[in-house]
Amino acid sequence: MTTRRPIIAGNWKMNLGVAEGVALASEIRNRCSRFRDIDVVVAPAATSLYPVAQRLADSPIGVAAQNCHAEDKGAFTGELSPVQLADVGCRYVIVGHSERRALFGETDEGVGKKARALHDHGLIPIVCVGESLAEREAGETLDVVLRQLDAGLAGLQPDEIVRTVVAYEPVWAIGTGRTATPAQAQDVHAALRKRIAELASPAVADKVRLQYGGSVKPDNIAALMAQPDIDGALVGGASLTADSFARIVAYENKDA
């Protein structure tokens, strides 16, 4: 039986102003802080990172940024460095999200550089991988996600891989209402864990936490979490209300 600690993260994307974000963080704090056997993380928009982190500072709930630059500082207008994100209270940073890849030119190599930079500054990367519908229908799912995984972890030592979170998000299930079946998700998670064992060691692979993302909701989280290689979820739209997010965190029929 695994001893991996579950991790549920809410990606708020480009939603909510500062006041709304702080209010939502407060509700999540009030409803989820008592669940001490799971890591709960929220990823606000960049403008809300500092006030949300301040609101959650003395709680067990972590704060993630939705992206970062790989350099510590420099002439990179509009970007935020790992140093700056750590300074405002982030503990995690999402890198390689499919929207960053598809809409903003994120590359596999770039994801690896960001993961390396985050570990250099004590932050935990949530490295996202996932295939498009066309790639799945062409039978290329594992080729795509394993290539992305290899690049994302390429610059890391085994002890850093252990601390990295990997999120499998099939692009065709993000924001579409479609969700990979628990069996489909488990197949990919098992392949990811097997590849991590090859890249590092079976002992390392057994400790790495793998999340599923893609239209995760209160009514499908329990079935996903019942799979042996799924250790958590990266939640999109359902993380924008405290009620639905708390019910996801309380997936083991706890009173949320």
Does residue 123 contact residue 92 with C-beta atoms inside 8 Å?
Answer: yes
Would you say residue 157 lies in a domain? yes
**What is the gyration radius of the CA atoms in the chain, in angstroms?**
17
CA angle in degrees (0–180, nearest 5) for 61-119-169: 65
Would you say residue 114 lies in a domain? yes
End-to-end CA distance of the chain: 26
CA 189, 176, 19, 241 dihedral sign is negative
Would you say residue 112 lies in a domain? yes
Would you say residue 110 lies in a domain? yes
Would you say residue 3 lies in a domain? no
Between strands 92-95 and 7-11, the pairing is: unpaired
Domain that holds residue 111: 8-249
Would you say residue 1 lies in a domain? no
Would you say residue 23 lies in a domain? yes
The rounded distance, in Å, linking the Cα atoms of 246 and 229 is: 22
Closest CA relative to residue 30, chosen from 59, 54, 52: 59
pTM attached to this predicted model: 0.95
Would you say residue 18 lies in a domain? yes
CATH of the domain at 111: 3.20.20.70
CA 223, 126, 61, 80 dihedral sign is negative
Number of domains into which the chain is organized: 1
What pLDDT tens digit does each residue of the chain (256 aa) get? 468 999 999 999 999 999 999 999 999 999 999 998 999 999 999 999 999 999 999 999 999 999 999 999 999 999 999 999 999 999 999 999 999 999 999 999 999 999 999 999 999 999 999 998 889 889 999 999 999 999 999 999 999 999 999 999 998 877 666 778 899 999 999 999 999 999 999 999 999 999 999 889 999 999 999 999 999 999 999 999 999 999 999 987 655 5
Active-site residue set: 97, 169
Closest CA relative to residue 25, chosen from 190, 240, 216: 240
Cα 172 off chain centre by: 17
CA distances from 248 to 54, 91, 127, 224, 253 (A): 24, 21, 21, 11, 10
